[in-house]
Amino acid sequence: MTVSEQPQAQYLKDYTAPNFSIEHTELTFDLQPLNTKVTALLTLKRTTHENSALVLDGIDLQLIELEVDNTPYSNYKVEGEHLIINDLPHACQLKMVTKISPQTNTSLEGLYLSGGAYCTQCEAQGFRKITYFMDRPDVLSTYDVTIIADKSFKQLLSNGNEIDSGETQDGRHFAKWQDPFKKPSYLFALVAGDFDVLKDTYTTKSGREIELALFVDKGNLSKTPHAINSLKKAMQWDEERFDLEYDLDIYMIVAVDFFNMGAMENKGLNVFNSKCVLANQETATDKDYHTIESIVGHEYFHNWTGNRVTCRDWFQLSLKEGLTVFRDQEFSSDLGSRALNRIDAVKVMRTHQFSEDAGPMAHPIRPEKVIEMNNFYTVTVYDKGAEVIRMMHTLLGEVNFQKGMQLYFERHDGQAVTCDDFVAAMSDASAIDLSQFKRWYNQSGTPRLKAIQHYDQEKQLFTLTVEQSAPLNQPDNSNLHIPFAIELLNEKGESTALTYQGEQQDHVLNVTEQTQTFTFDSIESRPVAVLLEDFSAPCILNQQNSEHDLLHIMRFARSDFSRWDAQQQLFIKAVKEAMDAPEQAKLSDNVITALRVLVEAQSGDLALIAELIKLPSFDTFAAEFEIIQVDEIITITTRFEQQIATQLASEFLSCYNSLVDDGSINANAVAIRALKGMCLHYLAKTQNDEVSSIISNAADSSNMTNVLAALSAVVKASHPLSGSLLNHFDSQWRHDVLVMDKWFALQAMHADADAIDNIKALYEHPSFDFSNPNRVRALVGSFSHFNTSQFHREDGKGYELLGDLLIKLNAINPQNASRMLTPFMSWKRFDETRAKAMKAQLQRLANLDGLSADLYEKVEKALN
């Protein structure tokens, strides 16, 4: 492509306020698959004095008519993706009629058909594929929406309240919706289809009755109770913890099969990926149940953090996403296990987010430069964004944090604001200075911390020196304000009081300088320090703990998260120490003993035990190396797993047999299934008749968690049963695409040399569909993320498979293509052979005709 055709970047520093406001928006949709007519009537007002042109955004629209104040108007031009209208009066009504083609729209952005139903996805900039508009989040408008469609589309839905419906003269029907709340265009939604509906109600704490409705494809009602229960729990939790109530009289959720992300918080009308809604015990795992609860919560919480107070511009995305992820994490933690939720969140940070931050797409949680906004719905903006909110929560405490939230809503309800506005509310409400803390919004990369401990037996003094070093490419005066939580354990494993000269010290240390020393006295013996307790800041902590200290922390830390964290460090240490002789890798007796104690205990938090006996993921180990030693890590971890499986075989067997799963969905049963699943994982590596019969029974269970535990155990162990069990699963579940996604993901895990051919053959499977992101991610996403040995084959065949797919997806769905590209972004972290093969795929894409902006931005960054 020539330079002028190259997608152009936008910069945060160039923000200017809009020159018009759109006071009110009236939309009429005449729905036809290839020829939908959209009539837009915008009530416009100038916000500045000069006679500047109105510039509207629009993509793939056919403009049929344009009128100003009921009179045809011709003083406009269409230039690329803009409609420029000159000499408009100070206030006027602009009418535009455009045509669009939902059926041929495979991007899943704008108005499209998903399995026969019309639906929309407007965030971030999809509204411009529906009609010409100021498609930016700081233009807030009220909407009246009329939908006209054939009667086969039984439900015609949009935001807000239904105010009219009826038949049209030509035998079709219509519905009219009105949303009383001003909103940006990205929160607009329309759905038309023939769904089954689950209805319910929720009474708010002030006594208002809210109508709840969940729309799903016909035949799926048995999979709806969990989502609706999750919604009611979320509504109640937000009232209790944040004092926030729902505002409209109706809350609708629609589940669709074709969707790029998890779900979308459109005002009063959420649209969900069906995999984030539908669940029953036969078809969904306990993990699916958890995901559904958290995403239903997440979208609900957006009603205040995102919708009532929205973003001034897309650079501020973390304002709503970081905050809403923090809220959904707290929701899950208050309802379930705080430790396990923290473990999950930190896994995401240490693997995906740290690797994004170390690669060419590294950006601050508030990016400064964007080519394609869809590329910035990232683990950095979402998850690191949530960590930044969590640090403020740690620094302020719950009471002050809630005061800050109240002040934020008092000041900004109904507005489009910035991250600075949020921090100002937090700081003003608490009288805590957050000026240094705010650097977290500007700095990309992962800060590194070094902790040096010193104990003086004679003086009974313990000193801890913490050094922070800025990530690469950051100015060196940019010390961050880091809340650094600690616990000191004595020999018996008890928590030691933190005092200095008679004064109690807070367990959260404020690290604000490059090097800082903290001293504690009256410490009777050398303590074992638990550092960065609960992952109190999103940093890489370099600590050289001995195996003894890590085992001590793993046993005694008051934070279950930190116990798990010590376990992770223990295995990382073992892998590093085995690097010189991978073929001889062996875990120490002390580690095996610690694991044995856990498996034998069968008491306490069983779900935590399951995590504590699980080896860290490949990505966790990979994060520890500048150049990722693929073969060595695989060899070592395979040997460790085999050793654990062999040495603890009888313990796993008796643990498995003694735990009774009552098949319910309560926390205890979930924990039992988690631990039994881990037992199966190891047992499958010791092949004997008893194990085979246990596996066959589990695979035959009517509970999907058990079935999947069995199947994944045999696939990962290359157990002889895997072929027959997988075939059986296929014949049993072909009618259910969401369940087939689990099967595709299992197929992608085959570590055998024919994995690539197997995947190519599965492209022809009747359940597979390149235009459905769930299918593509299940098969190829699982392959590229989890089938390490085959994806990273030295001959480059794994990379070629992904390269071929990306070329195909570029034309179908650029957003999905761009997300699937992620594994290539860290090509520089691999050895020469692999790096070269990955780079070749990136170059193939760079040379592609019609490369989408989504892929262009990432490919260009990866190569330069």
Considering the rule CB under 6 A, would residue 321 count as an interface residue with ligand TRP?
A: yes
Token pair for residue 521? 């006295």
Instruction: In angstroms, give the least distance from the CB of 740 to ligand TRP.
Output: 23
The correct pick among 30, 238, 265, 632 for binding ligand TRP (CB under 6 A) is: 265
Instruction: In angstroms, give the least distance from the CB of 293 to ligand TRP.
Output: 14
Complex with ligand TRP: residue 258 or 571, whichever CB lies closer: 258
Contact between 80 and 5 under an 8 Å Cβ cutoff? The reply is no
Q: What share of the chain is helix, strand, coil (3-state, %, to 5)?
A: 45, 20, 35
Instruction: In angstroms, give the least distance from the CB of 122 to ligand TRP.
Output: 8
The correct pick among 31, 66, 124, 694 for binding ligand TRP (CB under 6 A) is: 124
263 interacts with, out of Zn ion, ligand TRP, none, CB within 5 to 8 A per kind = ligand TRP
854 interacts with, out of Zn ion, ligand TRP, none, CB within 5 to 8 A per kind = none
Instruction: In angstroms, give the least distance from the CB of 265 to Zn ion.
Output: 6
Complex with ligand TRP: residue 260 or 443, whichever CB lies closer: 260
Complex with ligand TRP: residue 230 or 722, whichever CB lies closer: 230
Considering the rule CB under 6 A, would residue 374 count as an interface residue with ligand TRP?
A: yes
Longest dimension (CA), the chain: 95
Query: What angle is formed at CA 101 by the lines to CA 100 and CA 107, rounded to 5 degrees?
Result: 105
Instruction: In angstroms, give the least distance from the CB of 234 to ligand TRP.
Output: 13
- Quickly list H helices, 336-451: 338-348, 354-357, 379, 385-412, 419-430
Q: To which residue do tokens 């408008």 refer?
A: 141
| Complete DSSP assignment for 794-851 | TTSHHHHHHHHHHHHHHHH-HHHHHHHTGGGGGGGGS-HHHHHHHHHHHHHHHT-TT-
Complex with Zn ion: residue 123 or 560, whichever CB lies closer: 123
Instruction: In angstroms, give the least distance from the CB of 186 to ligand TRP.
Output: 8
**Pairing label, strands 503-504, 499-500:** antiparallel
What backbone torsions phi and psi does residue 813 show, to the nearest 5 degrees? Answer: -150, 90
Residues 705-734 close enough to bind Zn ion by CB under 5 A: none
Q: Of 226, 216, 349, which Cα lies nearest the Cα of 271?
A: 216
Complex with ligand TRP: residue 120 or 430, whichever CB lies closer: 120
124 interacts with, out of ligand TRP, Zn ion, none, CB within 5 to 8 A per kind = ligand TRP
Instruction: In angstroms, give the least distance from the CB of 299 to ligand TRP.
Output: 6
> For the CA atoms of the chain, what is the radius of gyration?
28
Binding mask of the shown chain, residues 814 to 833, with x at each position contacting Zn ion by CB under 5 A: --------------------
The correct pick among 31, 130, 198, 261 for binding ligand TRP (CB under 6 A) is: 261
Using the contact rule CB under 6 A, the part of the chain among 255-263, 612-620, 644-652, 817-825 near ligand TRP is: 255-263
Distance between the two ends of the chain, CA-based, in angstroms? Answer: 17
Instruction: In angstroms, give the least distance from the CB of 276 to Zn ion.
Output: 12
Complex with ligand TRP: residue 121 or 283, whichever CB lies closer: 121
Instruction: In angstroms, give the least distance from the CB of 379 to ligand TRP.
Output: 12
Complex with ligand TRP: residue 158 or 294, whichever CB lies closer: 294
Considering the rule CB under 6 A, would residue 123 count as an interface residue with ligand TRP?
A: yes
- Kindly provide the b/e burial profile for residues 96-119, where b requires at least 16 CB atoms within 10 angstroms of the residue's own CB: bbbbbbbeebbbbbbbbbbeebbb
| Complete DSSP assignment for 627-672 | S--HHHHHHHHHHHHHHHHHHTHHHHHHHHHH----S--SHHHHHH
Token pair for residue 343? 């473990």
- Kindly provide the b/e burial profile for residues 18-27, where b requires at least 16 CB atoms within 10 angstroms of the residue's own CB: ebbbbeebbb
Number of neighbouring beta carbons within 10 Å of residue 335: 18
The correct pick among 147, 192, 263, 711 for binding ligand TRP (CB under 6 A) is: 263
CA distance 457 to 556: 22
Complex with ligand TRP: residue 318 or 374, whichever CB lies closer: 374
Considering the rule CB under 6 A, would residue 294 count as an interface residue with ligand TRP?
A: no
CA distance 522 to 436: 33
Q: Of 191, 157, 196, 154, which Cα lies nearest the Cα of 173?
A: 154
Residues 472-501 close enough to bind ligand TRP by CB under 6 A: none
CA distance 308 to 222: 33
Contact between 155 and 195 under an 8 Å Cβ cutoff? The reply is yes
Using the contact rule CB under 6 A, the part of the chain among 89-97, 226-234, 259-267, 644-652 near ligand TRP is: 259-267
Using the contact rule CB under 6 A, the part of the chain among 5-13, 117-125, 364-372, 465-473 near ligand TRP is: 117-125
Asked whether the bond before 745 is cis by omega within 30 degrees of 0, the reply is no
377 interacts with, out of ligand TRP, Zn ion, none, CB within 5 to 8 A per kind = ligand TRP
Residues 318-377 close enough to bind Zn ion by CB under 5 A: 321, 324
Complex with Zn ion: residue 146 or 324, whichever CB lies closer: 324
Q: Binding-site residue total for ligand TRP (CB under 6 A)?
A: 13
Instruction: In angstroms, give the least distance from the CB of 296 to ligand TRP.
Output: 11
Using the contact rule CB under 5 A, the part of the chain among 56-64, 315-323, 480-488, 807-815 near Zn ion is: 315-323
Contact between 615 and 640 under an 8 Å Cβ cutoff? The reply is yes
Considering the rule CB under 6 A, would residue 792 count as an interface residue with ligand TRP?
A: no
DSSP class of residue 530 equals E
Token pair for residue 711? 């199947």
CA distance 211 to 209: 7
260 interacts with, out of Zn ion, ligand TRP, none, CB within 5 to 8 A per kind = ligand TRP
Residues 6+ apart with CB under 8 A from 113: 33, 102, 103, 105, 119
Catalytic residue among 26, 123, 293, 299: 299
Instruction: In angstroms, give the least distance from the CB of 849 to Zn ion.
Output: 34
Residues 499-558 close enough to bind ligand TRP by CB under 6 A: none
Complex with Zn ion: residue 147 or 416, whichever CB lies closer: 416
Instruction: In angstroms, give the least distance from the CB of 375 to ligand TRP.
Output: 10
CA distance 620 to 612: 15
Annotated active-site residue 600? The verdict is: no
**Distance (Å) of CA 495 to CA 489, 565, 597, 744, 751:** 5, 17, 22, 48, 45
CA distance 713 to 680: 6
537 interacts with, out of ligand TRP, Zn ion, none, CB within 5 to 8 A per kind = none
- Residue whose C-beta lies closest to ligand TRP: 261
The correct pick among 260, 329, 496, 767 for binding ligand TRP (CB under 6 A) is: 260
CA distance 785 to 445: 22
Complex with Zn ion: residue 26 or 321, whichever CB lies closer: 321
Considering the rule CB under 6 A, would residue 331 count as an interface residue with ligand TRP?
A: no
CA distance 346 to 579: 25
DSSP class of residue 609 equals H
Considering the rule CB under 6 A, would residue 383 count as an interface residue with ligand TRP?
A: no
Report helix, strand or coil for 426. helix
Using the contact rule CB under 6 A, the part of the chain among 230-238, 258-266, 463-471, 484-492 near ligand TRP is: 258-266
809 interacts with, out of ligand TRP, Zn ion, none, CB within 5 to 8 A per kind = none
Contact between 71 and 38 under an 8 Å Cβ cutoff? The reply is no
Instruction: In angstroms, give the least distance from the CB of 644 to Zn ion.
Output: 38
Complex with ligand TRP: residue 283 or 810, whichever CB lies closer: 810
- The residues carrying an active-site annotation are 299
**Using CB under 5 A as the criterion, which residues of the chain lie in contact with Zn ion when the complex forms?**
321, 324
**Using CB under 6 A as the criterion, which residues of the chain lie in contact with ligand TRP when the complex forms?**
121, 123-124, 260-261, 263-265, 298-299, 321, 374, 377
